[in-house]
Amino acid sequence: MNRFIGFLKKEFYHIFRDKRSLVILFGMPVAQVLLFGFVITNEIKNVKIAILDNSKDYITKELTDKLISTDYFILDKNLKSANEIEGIFKAGHVKEVIIFESNFAKNLEKESKANMQIITDATDPNTANLLVNYTSAIVMDYVNSINNNYKLPLQINTETRMFYNPELASVFMFVPGIMAMILMLISAIMTSITITREKETGTMEILLVSPLKPAQIIIGKVTPYVILSFVNAVIIILLGMFVFKMPVQGNIALLLFENVLFILLALSLGILISTMRNDQQSAMMISMFALLLPTILLSGFIFPIENMPWILQLFAQLMPPKWFIIIIKNIMLKGTSFAFVWKETLILAGFTVFFLALSIKKFKVRLE
């Protein structure tokens, strides 16, 4: 026990005396959560629009008011003719133009039908799509509200995005993904670096010649990172809760348990990498390429797995972060209990045991 505490102390000295690892350990997670949370969003806010109102009646007024009273749109300019549209898009800051036909209110009253046109700057197709969806949703909402007065047939809106509070949806999607990514990166990269560093400096040989058993060396080296990664997981959850107002519906203890399991999984991957490499540089490169890219691309973090070709879907099943993200989303957003995530948990546990067994075997082989 004395030996073990001495070993831990030494590891903490390494970590706290190395500014680079401190930054990776604590700066990176916070920066990434904030960056991803604020930058990668699927929602729109304060988009500048222009309106060409050929009718100027009370309905187009009301509609315009309704549109710009939301947080989504800001009225940049009232256009006088259709000729101006091209120019205003080219100037760049206006992303959407709305055109009301003449006699808009009259047409609506007489024929219960009126036309408006939404033109968007589709150089950024995602934003354009969102703008159209938001605008038509607001219009439909308005139409529904006046339907009652005019006894017009109800129109059916197939666009349902608005009703799910899109403002928050994207952050909710990203927090579990970022959590998976950061825990994977920190735990795997840091462990593979710390072990290969001892190989580089030659101290690993001394440790192996000493009475310490290989398992003791590995446990001693990774325990500090289990503790620090756990602290990180808690920081990320807190940031999610308080900065992004992400709810935690489920059991906190269960959530933390799943985090620990995932950290162990990532650490075992880090150990595995360090048994295959002898220098910090290549261990870091492998951790980045073998772990970071699949975590981002194939875990369902950003790109939905269902839309991938079947071969990639198959690969995605082999990505531990995918299962972790499912678990976290279930616990945080849906408040599900262990009964609903035990399968995924079992898969994570299986991965962990597999990687640990493999790395212990590899580590021993290196000794021979």
Partner 1 sequence: MKNEEKVISVKNLVKKFADFTANDNLTFDVYKGEIFGFLGANGAGKTTAIRILCGLSSPTSGELNVAGFDVYKQTEKIKQNIGYMSQKFSLYEDLTVYENIKFYAGIYGLSNAQIKFKANELINKLGLQEVQNKLINSLPLGWKQKLAFSIAIIHNPKIVFLDEPTGGVDPITRRQFWELIYQAAESGITVFVTTHYMDEAEYCDRISIMVDGKIEALDTPDNLIKKYKANNMDEVFLKLARKN
What does the binding site for partner 1 look like in residue numbers (CB under 8 A)?
A: 2-3, 6-7, 9-10, 13-14, 17-18, 201-203, 205-213, 367-368
Q: Please, which residue, 153 or 202, has the CB nearer to partner 1?
A: 202
Q: Please, which residue, 117 or 201, has the CB nearer to partner 1?
A: 201
CA angle 181, 10, 238 (to 5 degrees): 35
Helix (H, G, I), strand (E, B) or coil at 73: strand
Q: Please, which residue, 13 or 58, has the CB nearer to partner 1?
A: 13
Q: Please, which residue, 31 or 215, has the CB nearer to partner 1?
A: 215
CB of 197 to partner 1, least distance (A): 10
Strand order in the sheet with 73-79: 73-79, 47-53, 96-100, 116-120
Q: Please, which residue, 102 or 281, has the CB nearer to partner 1?
A: 281
**Residue keyed to tokens 């006894």:** 151
**Residue keyed to tokens 């998976």:** 180
* Residue 44 backbone phi and psi in degrees, to 5: -115, 155
b/e map of 220-237 (b: 16 or more CB within 10 Å)? bbbbbbbebbbebbeebb
Q: Where are the beta strands (DSSP E) in 102-217?
A: 116-120
Note whether 59 and 31 are within 8 A (CB): no
